[in-house]
Structure 1
Amino acid sequence: MTEIEGVATVTDADFEAVVRAPGLPVLVEFTADWCGPCRQLAPVLGAVARQEADRLRVVQIDVDANPATAAKYAVLSMPTLMVFRDGEPVKSMVGARPKRRLLQELDDVVGPLGV
C-alpha cells in the first residue's frame, strides 16, 4: 500500500475508533497494493488531506490485510472512497478521479472545499 503524506493508515482493529471519533468527517480510501488506480489516486488524496486538514480527515485501509472492514461495508472494487460523518457512511465513490472532481463530489457531504 502506498504511504501518502497526510493520510493515516487504519486497520480492522482501529477502524471503528478512528471513523467514529467525534469531529471532522472522514474520507476513507479502501485500497490494495495491486491496484493501479489506487496508486494514481495517492497524490490526489495527499493534496486533499493537506489542503482540507481543518475540514476533512483522510485515511486509507488495505483491503487485503483488513478484510473484515471491507466486507462490513461491501467494498468490492478498488479504490473505493467512502465518506463517514458521525461514524456513518454518507457517500461512496468508486474509482480514481482528479482532485477537482473529488473536491466537487465531496461538496454535498462536507460543504464546499477549495477547488
Structure 2
Amino acid sequence: MTTENTEVQPAEKPAAKFLSAKPREKTVTLDHPFEYDGVEVTTITIRRTTGKEINEFLDRVAAASGETVVPPMVQCSLEVWESMDDDDRYKVEMEMVDFFPRRLRDMAPSVLPASEDASVQ
C-alpha cells in the first residue's frame, strides 16, 4: 500500500509592482570599505520602503530599549551597520534622508538632516 502526499502547497503571494519612474534605490560607495566575516563591504544600498516595513521598524525601535535598530531602507546587517566607519555611516544616513517616507520626516524633523533633494518622495 502506498501513501500519497496530497498536501497542497500555498500559492506564493503576489508582490506589488511600483509604477512610478522615481528612483526606488541608490547605491552609496563607502570611502572606507572594510571586510566583515570574509566579505568585502564597499557599497551600501538604500531603498524606499513599504508601509508595512515602516510599521515593523517603529515597533522594533519602541521595543529596542536603546539598542541599535538598522533602518529598513538600509540593506545591510546590524553587524555591518555597527562596523562601518562613522564617516561612511554618516554619508549613508545623509543619502538615506531622500528615501525616508513623509511619515518619518513629519515624526522627527528636528533629528533628520535636511534633504538636498526634497523632490524625491
Question: So what's the TM-score if we normalise by structure 1?
Answer: 0.25
Question: So what's the TM-score if we normalise by structure 2?
Answer: 0.25
Higher-Rg structure is 2
Would you tell me which structure has more strand in proportion to its own residues?
Answer: 1
